[in-house]
């Protein structure tokens, strides 16, 4: 579902469950996803301990955000799903921007010369992503830079998606999410005991 009420992503969106707010009686037991386009500036609401210890931050002038919530998923499963989802998002992105893409953990790395922070680089990180599990519910965020901007870290990569490409990318990734969680749920049900 594309939502329009988020004007900036500061990290607080995924500090609590959000699916019921948007889906009400259509909230699914296998999980839900929302997406929006907004600037990102995360300094105070970091969940990632590595970023916090490194005094790192998230900044983007324009980013496509995917926030998902899946019940009955513990931390290990949440990270496994995050990496599976991000790899699928990377494949969708590749079909749009036609640049070589590599997954490094949960990061989507684009192998294309670009300039960021006044430095010409041969590759860059197009994504930010985090997930955690609280009270047996996994909540995650994957953000893809459209335009990283001058304040973004030097390693940031701008995909420069057009508005039309962005909307298609959002709809395709949400469809992919639901296909994945439905398929995973069915797979949990077909074991002969």
Q: What does 7-52 look like in DSSP terms, one character per residue?
A: S-B-SGGGGS--HHHHHGGG--TT-EEEEEEEEEEESSS---HHHH
Q: Report helix, strand or coil for 100.
A: coil
CA distance readout (Å), 72 to 53, 77, 136, 139, 191 = 29, 9, 5, 11, 19
pLDDT recorded at residue 52 = 42
Which segments within the chain are labelled E, that is strand? 32-42, 58-71, 101-104, 107-110, 114-116, 119-121, 124-125, 127-134, 137-147
Contacts of 99 (CB under 8 A, 6+ apart): 110, 111, 112
Q: Report helix, strand or coil for 75.
A: helix
Q: Tell me the pLDDT band of 120, cut-offs 50, 70 and 90.
A: confident
Rg of the chain over CA atoms, in angstroms?
16
Provide the whole-model pTM: 0.89
To 10 degrees, what angle do helices 163-188 and 75-97 make? 140
Beta bridge partners of 153: none
- The Cα 54–Cα 183 span in angstroms is 38
Contact 142, 66 (CB under 8 A): yes
Q: Measured in Å, how far apart are the chain's first and last C-alpha atoms?
A: 37
What does the pLDDT look like over 13-72, one tens digit per residue? 898 999 999 999 999 999 999 999 999 988 665 555 455 434 456 888 999 999 999 999
- Of all residues in the chain, the percent with pLDDT exceeding 70 is 92
């Amino acid at each position: 579902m594309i939502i329009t009420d988020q004007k900036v992503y500061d990290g607080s969106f995924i500090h609590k469950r959000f699916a019921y707010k948007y889906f009400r009686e259509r909230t699914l037991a296998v999980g839900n996803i929302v997406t929006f386009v907004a600037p990102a500036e995360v300094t105070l609401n970091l969940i990632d301990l590595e970023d916090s210890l490194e005094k790192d931050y998230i900044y983007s002038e324009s980013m496509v955000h995917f926030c998902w919530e899946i019940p009955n998923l513990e931390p290990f499963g949440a990270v496994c799903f995050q990496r599976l989802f991000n790899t699928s998002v990377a494949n969708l992105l590749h079909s749009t921007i036609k640049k070589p893409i590599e997954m490094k953990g949960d990061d989507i790395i684009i192998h294309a010369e670009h300039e960021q922070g006044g430095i010409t680089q041969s590759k860059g990180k197009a994504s930010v992503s985090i997930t955690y599990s609280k009270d047996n519910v996994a909540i995650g965020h994957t953000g893809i830079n459209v335009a990283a901007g001058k304040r973004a870290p030097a390693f940031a990569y701008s995909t420069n998606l057009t508005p039309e490409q962005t909307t298609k990318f959002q709809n395709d990734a949400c469809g992919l999410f639901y296909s994945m969680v439905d398929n995973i749920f069915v797979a949990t049900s077909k074991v002969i005991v």
